Amino acid sequence: MGPSEHGMGKTSVPALLRQQVDRWAEAWLTAKFSRLLELRARDPGPFNYPIAVFSEWRGKAFYLNVRYRARSRRPEDDFVVRHTRMTLTGFGRFDLAYFRHTDKWFTVYRALTADECFREIEQNEIFWPTT
């Protein structure tokens, strides 16, 4: 066991599952949001506006995030908001949650497969990182 594997135990995400989730996220985020981000960049308005959507893993949790350009328009003031979370609970199942305006995560579904999570995210705007 190498140093990176030590202590991972239940929290590690199987490589094939991680690849499946990453491939879906890259394809869906690009297809769904690239045009919107392009349009917002041309006409950002006076407020914070989304400049990128991306995914990331943190331990056994997978997030869909939005990077915002702040009103100052200085890149060093950009900030990231985590919006949707898939948490691996075991046996290839995930809990699916979104970040509410109350600054708390709200779990909508429990024990979904990755494919079921993808379908819910694609069909339900509450899971979209930006609209």
Residues 57-91 have pLDDT tens digits of: 999 999 999 999 999 999 999 999 999 999 999 99
Domain presence at residue 59: yes
Domain presence at residue 109: yes
CA dihedral defined by 79, 63, 16, 93, rounded to 10 degrees? 170
Residue identified by tokens 């869909």 is 64
CA distances 126 to 54, 97, 116, 121, Å, are 17, 9, 15, 8
Number of domains making up the chain: 1
Answer left, alpha or beta for residue 47, where phi above 0 means left and psi between -120 and 50 means alpha.
beta
One digit per residue, the tens of pLDDT, for the chain of length 131 reads 344 444 444 558 999 999 999 999 999 999 999 999 999 999 999 999 999 999 999 999 999 999 999 999 999 999 999 999 999 999 999 999 999 989 999 999 999 999 999 999 999 999 999 87
Domain presence at residue 64: yes
Please say whether the beta carbons of 48 and 72 come within 8 A: no
Domain presence at residue 10: no
Widest Cα–Cα separation across the chain: 53
Domain presence at residue 121: yes
Give me the amino acid identity at 20: Q
Give the structural domain span for 34.
Answer: 16-127
Please say whether the beta carbons of 104 and 24 come within 8 A: no
Domain presence at residue 32: yes
Domain presence at residue 4: no
pLDDT at 11: 58
